[in-house]
Amino acid sequence: MGKEALDRLRKTEPAEYLSPSSELSRLARAASSHLYSSLVPFCPTKPPLHQLLSEESFDAEQIWSQIDLLSKPLLPFLRRHLARLEKQSNLHSFLPRPTLKSTATEDGDEEKEEELYSEELELELDDEEEEEKGDEDEENEEEKDEDEEEGEAKGVEDKFLKIKELEKFLEDGEAKEYGLSVQNNKIDLDDKDNESNDDEEDAFDLEDLDGDSEEEVANEMENARYEDFFGRQSNKGAQKKSSSKKVKFDDRPQVKEIEYQESDDENENENDENNLSTHEKESAKLRSTIEEMERANLEPKSWTMIGEVTAGKRPVNSALEVDLDFEHNVKPAPVITEEVTASLEELIKKRIIDGQFDDVQRALTLPTKAPRESKELDESKSKKGLAEIYEEEYAQTAMHATAPISVSDELKKEAEMLFKKICSKLDALSHFHFAPKPVIEDMSIQANVPALAMEEIAPIAVSDAAMLAPEEIFQGKGDIKEERELSRSDRKRRRANKKRRFKTDTVKRAAKKPRPTTDANGKS
Amino acid sequence: MELPASSAAMETEANGPPPSSAVAPSAAPPKPLFQALKPHEMSDGKIQFRKVPVPPNRFAPLKKNWMEIYTPIYEQMKVDIRMNLKAKRVELKTRHDTPDVSHLQKCADFVNAFMLGFDICDALALLRLDDLYVDSFEIKDVKTLRGEHLSRAIGRLSGKGGKTKFAIENSTRTRIVIADTKIHILGSFVNIKVARDSLCSLILGSPAGKVYSKLRAVSARLAEQY
């Protein structure tokens, strides 16, 4: 009943599928259930449903999900089976082309077929993840469309060129390419299997029919070279088919070439390496690493490996991406937290309470010389008359009589000295400020003699230290330069100063010269 | 002609043999001895006068201090002095026992200084010391000032309560009299110069502090000389 439904579906015109028809849907449901039940015995795990529930009430979605449930465990099983069979196969012979239902395209040209192939490749490239779903979506559609497409474009096809086969072949090739690249990393793809099982019935029938021979064909497809077609046969026995469980329907020259262009490079190396011993493999790996390192050594190093790099030698903003480690000579700024602030405030309060401020106290500079006795200007009317002043003066100079120091002054001076002594002693006891001994100016003449001459009678070692300090011997100011040390500008300055001084001196001398003055009487 | 005659007379008195006789060459004629000329003899026995006019504002002080003026002049300088009220003058005259001609001049200077405004005790120095002078000048000699500027200049010269003037006096050992626009300085030549410089700088407008600093330096230097 199911097979009949399938046949009838095939026979219906494609145009009839466009409009919803209950008859067609009934047929489709019957066909689906037939397929389902035929696949059930092959399922490795216990299928959830033995019969497809395809009553009128069930939606397409629901039917599809049931099919999905069945196919999910089935596909890996089939894949594994295929892989096993591939290992066993050793045949070179090309299989006769199986007759398949072909999908009719609107244009039957070969170019269009290639376009279609490339389009499908692109589509599959883009939607790899959704491929499974998409493919399985296509399932139902294609089941329905099968019969539609059957009748179309019969003119293009013959027993050799089946467009549908072509399409499928292209898809498989594409999948295989990806399967190959994935296989190298030892990951299996599910979607490729789905693709190959687009039309479950057909695919599976094909597999059943062709079995080993198809795998052999796949082998041949991968490993075939120019020689296979046009020359001596290469040693294919050792070459292992590493393709996935893809089913290769057919080999067409143009397809083959395209496929080879894509998958050639990937196949070569693996096939050579697959048959090496462990040691050879290891040495090969070692050699490759050595080569890599040598290549890296020859190439210019990255900027991080060169010693000193200026900004011009490295790319822009590259220092931001690298973790630079350098010494910070500056202490990092302290992070001001609440605790820090609180501690500071506490310290301030404590200090205020204690009255302990770190005030800077002025350090008194010691007087190097005794302060000059400066005569205070008396701003009051002098009590002595002018005559008395001169009288005193005369008395001092002429009679050499010292001015009588009044008794009170002497007493005052003595009292002052005593008080100063006591004050200094008390100061020294009361605070830590160092106060040196007060300078008592003595009027004594110091001659510029060597120090030892004054201090010792028999000097053991003669020192050249003089009694007078250097600044007392020499009183000049600034940087004293010798004749040799003067720069050009200094010399010029000196000369200019000398000239200026000379000029002023001449003017003064001219002024000092007794000018002819006239007396009141007119006598000179 | 009198002189040779008197000398000849003296010679005849002193020497026995006439100078014409060259018989005794060993006996030289004795040198003549002349007595010092008396002041009045120097001026041919004439009496000299000095007349010092009295300005109206000095009448009262003159009358008040007359005895202080009179006593040193008459007693120590031996110069006659009288006051001529009608002519408003003080007249001075030498006596026959005035020791020196310059005494009269000194007394005249003394009286003149008093008339200018100096104190008796200050003016007395003129009598005692030779090399004291009185120098006078006017403010307009230094700088032409009119109206308030003049008043301010006078004020600057004196200072508050006269302290600037006293400062100058004390530091330079002079005496200064500021009579309106006339300034009189009494002292020795060097001191007069210093005082005059200070006063001129005050007239020209420098502040008192600046003048003080200069004075201090100068006075220290002057003091170091002794």
Provide the pLDDT confidence category of residue A106 given band limits of 50, 70 and 90: very low
How far off is chain B from A364, nearest CA to CA, in Å?
Answer: 26
Q: Look over chain A and give the mean of its residue pLDDT values, rounded to a whole number.
A: 73
| Contacts of residue A111, Cβ cutoff 8 Å, sequence gap at least 6 | none
- Mode of pairing for the β-strands spanning B89-94 and B132-138: unpaired
What pLDDT is attached to residue B140? Answer: 94
Contacts of A375 in chain B (CB under 8 A): 171, 216, 219-220, 223
How far off is chain A from B20, nearest CA to CA, in Å?
Answer: 45
- The pair of structure tokens assigned to A14 is 């494609």
- The pair of structure tokens assigned to A411 is 């007493």
How far off is chain A from B164, nearest CA to CA, in Å?
Answer: 7
What pLDDT is attached to residue A181? Answer: 53
Rounded-to-integer distance, Cα A49 and Cα A66, Å: 8
Residue A194, pLDDT above cutoff 90:
no
Q: How many CB pairs under 8 A join A and B?
A: 67
The residue-averaged pLDDT of A274-278 equals 81
Q: Identify the residue among B68, B122, B198 best suited for mutation to test binding to A, counting A beta carbons within 10 A and taking the highest.
A: B122
Q: Identify the residue among A376, A378, A379, A380 best suited for mutation to test binding to B, counting B beta carbons within 10 A and taking the highest.
A: A379
Provide the pLDDT confidence category of residue A373 given band limits of 50, 70 and 90: low
Provide the pLDDT confidence category of residue A332 given band limits of 50, 70 and 90: confident
Provide the pLDDT confidence category of residue A363 given band limits of 50, 70 and 90: confident
| A516: phi then psi, degrees, rounded to nearest 5 | -65, 110
Name residue, tokens 């070569």: A268
Residue A203, pLDDT above cutoff 60:
no
What pLDDT is attached to residue B226? Answer: 52
Rounded-to-integer distance, Cα A248 and Cα A176, Å: 9
Could you give the ipTM of this predicted complex?
0.75
Burial class (CB in 10 A: 0-12, 13-18, 19+), A176: buried
Nearest Cα residue in chain B from A393: B226
Q: Identify the residue among A372, A373, A374, A377 best suited for mutation to test binding to B, counting B beta carbons within 10 A and taking the highest.
A: A377
What pLDDT is attached to residue A372? Answer: 66
Interchain pair B125, A385: CB under 8 A: yes
What pLDDT is attached to residue A50? Answer: 77
How far off is chain B from A495, nearest CA to CA, in Å?
Answer: 32
Find residues 174-213 of chain B whose CB sits inside 8 Å of chain A: 174-175, 186-187, 212
Contacts of A390 in chain B (CB under 8 A): 125, 128-129, 132, 173
Rounded-to-integer distance, Cα A4 and Cα A7, Å: 5
Contacts of A397 in chain B (CB under 8 A): 226
What pLDDT is attached to residue A41? Answer: 81
Contacts of A389 in chain B (CB under 8 A): 125, 173
Report the b/e string of A308-333 with b at 16+ CB within 10 A: eeeeeeeeeeeeeeeeeeeeeeeeee
**DSSP H/E element including A30:** helix A22-39
The dihedral sign for the CA sequence A483, A485, A488, A492:
negative
| CB atoms closer than 10 angstroms to residue A484 | 5
Rounded-to-integer distance, Cα A74 and Cα A45, Å: 8
Q: Identify the residue among B65, B170, B172, B225 best suited for mutation to test binding to A, counting A beta carbons within 10 A and taking the highest.
A: B170
What pLDDT is attached to residue A243? Answer: 46
How far, CA to CA in Å, does A451 sit from each of A414, A424, A461, B142?
33, 31, 12, 58
Range in A291-305, A422-436, B116-130, B149-163 the model is least confident about: A422-436
- A377, A380, A387 member nearest B128 (Cβ): A387
- The pair of structure tokens assigned to B114 is 């008093």
- A377, A386, A391 member nearest B212 (Cβ): A377
Residue A388, pLDDT above cutoff 70:
yes
> What is chain A's alpha carbon radius of gyration, rounded to the nearest angstrom?
60
Contacts of A377 in chain B (CB under 8 A): 167, 170-171, 212, 215-216, 219
| CB atoms closer than 10 angstroms to residue A122 | 11
How far off is chain A from B123, nearest CA to CA, in Å?
Answer: 8
Interchain pair A379, B223: CB under 8 A: no
Nearest Cα residue in chain B from A382: B170
Cα distance from N-terminal residue to C-terminal residue, chain B: 53
Name which residue leads in pLDDT, B106 or A108: B106
Burial class (CB in 10 A: 0-12, 13-18, 19+), B80: middle
What pLDDT is attached to residue A76? Answer: 86
Rounded-to-integer distance, Cα A170 and Cα A249, Å: 10
The residues of A whose Cβ lies within 8 A of any Cβ of B are 374-375, 377-382, 385-391, 393, 396-397
Interchain pair A385, B226: CB under 8 A: no
| Contacts of residue A153, Cβ cutoff 8 Å, sequence gap at least 6 | A104, A105, A106, A108, A163
Residue by residue, pLDDT tens for chain B (226 residues) are: 444 444 444 444 444 444 454 455 567 888 888 888 766 666 666 788 999 999 999 999 999 999 999 999 999 999 999 999 999 999 999 988 888 878 999 999 999 999 999 999 999 999 998 899 999 999 999 999 999 999 999 999 999 999 999 999 999 999 999 999 999 999 999 999 999 999 999 999 999 999 999 998 888 887 776 5
Contacts of B216 in chain A (CB under 8 A): 374-375, 377
DSSP per residue over A123-180, as a string?
HHHHTSTTHHHHHHHHHHHHHHHHHHHHTS-TTT--SS--HHHHHHHHHHHHHHHHHH
What pLDDT is attached to residue A521? Answer: 60
Name which residue leads in pLDDT, A414 or A437: A414
Nearest Cα residue in chain A from B185: A386
| Contacts of residue A124, Cβ cutoff 8 Å, sequence gap at least 6 | A131, A171, A174, A175, A195
Interchain pair A386, B175: CB under 8 A: yes
B172 touches chain A (CB under 8 A): no
Interchain pair B187, A381: CB under 8 A: no
Nearest Cα residue in chain B from A381: B166
| CB atoms closer than 10 angstroms to residue A395 | 12
pLDDT in tens, A110-161: 455 555 555 555 555 444 444 444 455 555 555 555 444 444 455 666 767 7
Burial class (CB in 10 A: 0-12, 13-18, 19+), A197: buried
Rounded-to-integer distance, Cα B16 and Cα B11, Å: 9
Residue A250, pLDDT above cutoff 80:
no
The residue-averaged pLDDT of A337-359 equals 94
What pLDDT is attached to residue A460? Answer: 67
- A377, A380, A391 member nearest B171 (Cβ): A377
| CB atoms closer than 10 angstroms to residue B166 | 19
pLDDT in tens, A6-49: 888 888 888 888 888 888 888 888 888 888 888 888 777 777 77
What pLDDT is attached to residue A105? Answer: 43
Range in A55-64, A228-237, A395-404 the model is least confident about: A228-237
- The pair of structure tokens assigned to A102 is 């072909």
Residue type at position A199: D
Interchain pair A378, B215: CB under 8 A: no
B171 touches chain A (CB under 8 A): yes
> Which pTM does this prediction carry?
0.39
- A385, A389, A397 member nearest B119 (Cβ): A385
Find residues 89-128 of chain B whose CB sits inside 8 Å of chain A: 119-122, 124-125, 127-128
| CB atoms closer than 10 angstroms to residue A226 | 9
What pLDDT is attached to residue A189? Answer: 47
Contacts of A374 in chain B (CB under 8 A): 216, 220
Interchain pair A379, B166: CB under 8 A: yes
Rounded-to-integer distance, Cα A353 and Cα A461, Å: 61
Contacts of A379 in chain B (CB under 8 A): 159, 163-164, 166-167, 170
Residue type at position B68: E
What pLDDT is attached to residue A501? Answer: 95
How far off is chain B from A372, nearest CA to CA, in Å?
Answer: 10
